[in-house]
Chains A and B, each alone.
Chain A
Amino acid sequence: MAEFFNEMYEAGQIRAPYARLGDWTEAMPAELRSLKQAEAEALFRRIGITFAVYGEGGDPDRLIPFDMFPRVFTHAEWRRLERGIVQRAKALNAFLVDVYNRGEIVRAGRIPAHLVYRNEAFETAVVGFTPPRGVFSHIVGVDLVRTGPDDFFVLEDNCRTPSGVSYMLENREIMMRLFPALFRENRIEPVDGYSEALRRTLASVAPAKCDGEPTIVILTPGPLNSAYYEHSFLADLMGVELVEGQDLFVEGEHVWMRTTRGPQRVDVIYRRIDDAFIDPLCSRPDSMLGVPGLMDVYRSGGVTIASAPGAGVADDKAVYTFVPEMIRFYLGEEPILQNVPTWQCAKRDDLKYVLEHLAELVVKEVHGSGGYGMLVGPKSTAEQVEAFRERIIANPANYIAQPTLALSACPTFVDEGIAPRHVDLRPYCLVGDRVELVPGGLTRVALTEGSLVVNSSQGGGVKDTWVLAE
C-alpha cells in the first residue's frame, strides 16, 4: 500500500508532538540503542510480564517485542479521542441497560431484534435486572486505528474483559527507567493513576447490600491462563485479593472468600473469566472455574460482577455496526469517532459487493480473533483470494468485510535503523460513578515492513503511548 499517514513526518517536516524525539534518536548511537533494548528485555523478563495479549494463547513465557520508540499524541488530539471514547462507552452501557429491560431501541426499529435477542451473548438470566449505577461494562477497551491527522476509526469495542492494560502500565514504567531525560524534556501525562481509578470505579458500583468499604476481588481462571500475569499485576496494584473460583463460595445472601481468618464477605468481583464459566449452576456444570450459586446472589443484589454477565451482547461484530445508531438514540449526539464501514456477508447485497471487490477488502470471521481466519485482499495473492472466496460462499454469515484502511505508521526501531511501521491503539475506558480514561493506552505495532497485522502472535509488538500535557 503506497499511501499512509506517518504520525511523525508530514511533508518532510516533523509533526509537533514528535518535535523532541528527532534529537533523541539522533543522539542515540546503535550501540546505546542495543544496550537499552537488552535492558528493556531484561526488565520485562524480571517482572515476568510474558503473557499473550487478547487471548492469543501460545507460549506463556514468550516476551512480546517492546519497541522503545514511543507513540505520541498531542493534548488536543487526545481530548477528541477521549470525548469519542467516553461517548461510546456511555452509549454501549445505555444499550445494555435498554436491551435487558424495555428494549426501546429494538421497538423503535433502530436495530434488528434478532441481532440482539438471538445473540449467543444475550443472557436471558439477567433480563429485568439493572446492575448498580446502570453499568454493565465497567472497562471498555476500544480498538482504534488512524488514517489521517484527524481521522480515527473504531475497529471494535471490547465490553467484557479487555486485556493488555498491564502493558500500558509496564511500557511506561520501563520507558521511564530507560530514558528518564525524555520525561523531563517532554511533558507527558501520567498513566499510573489507572489502578487507583479502576479500584475507585469498582468500589463505586458496590451493591446496595454493602455497607461500608466494599471488598473487591479479581477472579482469575488461574495461573494457566495467558493473562494471569495481568490479573495478579492488577490485584497487587489495587491491593485486592486475586481469587480463583475455589476461593469463593455462596452462603445465604452473599459471596464469601475463604481466608485464614474464616469467611470474608465479597462485594465486587472483577471477573476475568467468561460468562459461560461464572456459575456452573447456570451453564457448564462441569466447570469449576466459577462459583456455584453466584448468579442468584448477583441477581438478588448481593454482589456486583464486573463486567456484568450479558455485557457481551454489545461488542458482537454484528452489533458493532449499530453503535453510531446507539449514540444517536440514547445520547442524542452525533458520533465523534467513526465506525469502519462494514459489509455483512449474511446480507445478499453486501455479499455480492464483497465478492466483487474481494481483492480490495479485509474480510474477517464474525467470531474470529487474533488476526487469524482473515483475508487482507491487497496483500494476498490471486490464489489466496480465490481460496478465501470459496470459504465465504460456503458460509457467508460467518464473515464481515471492511475496506482496507491505510493504517497510520509510527517510527519504529528496526534492524536498519528507524522506519515507519503500522500501529493501532487500545485505550481503556472506566465506567462507574463517572466515566473516565487515563491519558494513554496500548499501542500495538506491526513490526514487519508493510504489514497491517498488529497481533503479537503474528509479529506484532507494543509501544509506550504518550499524551502530551497542555
Chain B
Amino acid sequence: MILTVHHSTRYVYDQPVRGVVQSHRLTPSLFDGQRLIDWRVLVSDGTAGGAFRDGAGDWVASHSAHGPLSEITVTVEGQVETVDLTGVLRGHRERVPPEAYLRETLPTRPDVALIELGREALADAGRADALERAHLLSVAVGQAIAYRPGATHAHTTAAEALGLGEGVCQDHAHALCAVARAQDMPARYVSGYLHATEDGTPHEAAHAWAEIWVPGLGWVGFDASNGCCPDDRYIRLGSGHDARAAAPIRGIARGQGRESLDVTVAVEAAQQ
C-alpha cells in the first residue's frame, strides 16, 4: 500500500521563549515492510543539528532554534510504500540486545494486577510457543483496557490505566510492555502512524503499539488497541522502553512561556 502522511505539530508560547531544542524520531524505520518514496521533515525556525541512526535502528535528528520565539511548527510530509508482514519486523538493522528491553520504567512498572493479568492470560497456554503467548497477552490487554479517548493523559502509567479499565493506544502499549516483561518476554513501545480503516473502527492516525521479542522471529508488533498485528496500514517510526523514550518529537523550550500544542495528522492511501 502506498500511504501519504501529512503531520504537523505547532507549538505556541504565550510569551516568547529563549530557545527550543528538539530531538526527532520522525523518519520511518528501514525494514522489509516499509520503503520510503519521499519524506521530508520541515521545521519553521532554527537550525538542523546532528543526525544519526541509534542502536535501536531509529533515525534521530536534532533541531534547535534560538529565541525570542513565539511559535515553532514541525511538519512531516511524505510517502511510504508498505507491505504486510503480519507484524514481523523483518530486515530491521539494530544493535540493542533484546534483554535490554526487560527493564521496567516508571510508566511500565507492573503492579500486582498487571502481573496477574499476564499470568491469567497464559494460565491455559500450556506448551504454547512465544508467539502464541504474545498474542494471548495482547488480547488480554485489549480486553482489560477499553478504548476510550480522554480517560487517561500523557503521564498515566500502565498500572493506572488497567485500574481505570480504559485508555488509549499509549496505555495499551504500556500495559502490554509491562505484562510481557513481567513474563520475562522482552517488549518495547513503538510509535508510528496508522491509516484510517473504512469500517469506522476508532483509531488514532498518530498511533502507538508494542513489540514483543519472539525467539526465531525477532521483534513482532502487537496492536492491543485494534486487536491485531501491524500490517500495511501501519508506518513504524521508532521505539523505546516507553512512550517518552519512543516519542516522535521530544523537545524543551527554555523560558517562562507556557506551551500549547496543536497537532494534525492525516494518513491517506494513494489511489492505485
Interface residues of A (CB under 8 A from B): 100-101, 103, 106, 113-114, 116-118, 120, 122, 124-129, 249-253, 280-282, 285, 292-293, 295-297, 299-302
- Complex Cα spacing A285 to B155, Å: 12
Please, which residues of chain A bring their CB within 8 A of the CB of B56?
Answer: 124, 127
- Complex Cα spacing A459 to B99, Å: 43
Contact B102 A252 (CB under 8 A): no
Does B83 touch A at the CB level, under 8 Å? no
- 14 A-B pairs within 8 Å (CB atoms) are namely A101-B95, A106-B97, A113-B99, A118-B103, A124-B241, A127-B56, A128-B96, A250-B49, A252-B49, A280-B252, A296-B62, A299-B54, A300-B52, A302-B50
- The answer to whether A299 and B64 touch (CB under 8 A), given A252-B47, A280-B252, is no
Our count of residue pairs bridging A and B at CB distance below 8 angstroms stands at: 101
Does B113 touch A at the CB level, under 8 Å? no
Please, which residues of chain B bring their CB within 8 A of the CB of A281?
Answer: 21, 23, 250-252
- Complex Cα spacing A461 to B41, Å: 58
Contact for A128 among B19, B62, B95, B241, CB less than 8 A: B95
Does B254 touch A at the CB level, under 8 Å? yes
- Complex Cα spacing A333 to B52, Å: 37
Contact A250 B48 (CB under 8 A): no
In addition to A118-B100, A124-B241, A281-B250, 13 A-B residue pairs with Cβ atoms within 8 Å of each other are A103-B97, A124-B56, A127-B95, A128-B54, A249-B64, A250-B21, A251-B64, A253-B50, A281-B251, A292-B21, A292-B252, A293-B22, A297-B50
Contact with A along B15-26 (1 / 0, CB 8 A): 000010111000
Contact for A253 among B49, B66, B254, CB less than 8 A: B49
Query: What is the number of residues of chain B that contact chain A, defined by CB distance less than 8 Å?
Result: 32
Counting chain B CB atoms within 10 Å of each CB, which of A124, A125, A300 scores highest?
A124
Contact for B100 among A122, A295, A296, A297, CB less than 8 A: A122
Please, which residues of chain A bring their CB within 8 A of the CB of B270?
Answer: none
Please, which residues of chain B bring their CB within 8 A of the CB of A293?
Answer: 21-23, 49, 62, 64, 252
- Complex Cα spacing A83 to B186, Å: 41
- Complex Cα spacing A251 to B102, Å: 35
B110 vs chain A, min Cβ distance (A): 15
Which 6 pairs of residues, A with B, have the shortest CB-CB distance? A300-B50, A127-B55, A296-B62, A117-B99, A293-B21, A128-B55
Please, which residues of chain B bring their CB within 8 A of the CB of A122?
Answer: 100, 103
Does B60 touch A at the CB level, under 8 Å? yes
- Complex Cα spacing A101 to B56, Å: 12
Does B51 touch A at the CB level, under 8 Å? yes
Contact B97 A296 (CB under 8 A): no
Contact for B54 among A101, A103, A127, CB less than 8 A: A127
Please, which residues of chain A bring their CB within 8 A of the CB of B251?
Answer: 281
Please, which residues of chain B bring their CB within 8 A of the CB of A106?
Answer: 97
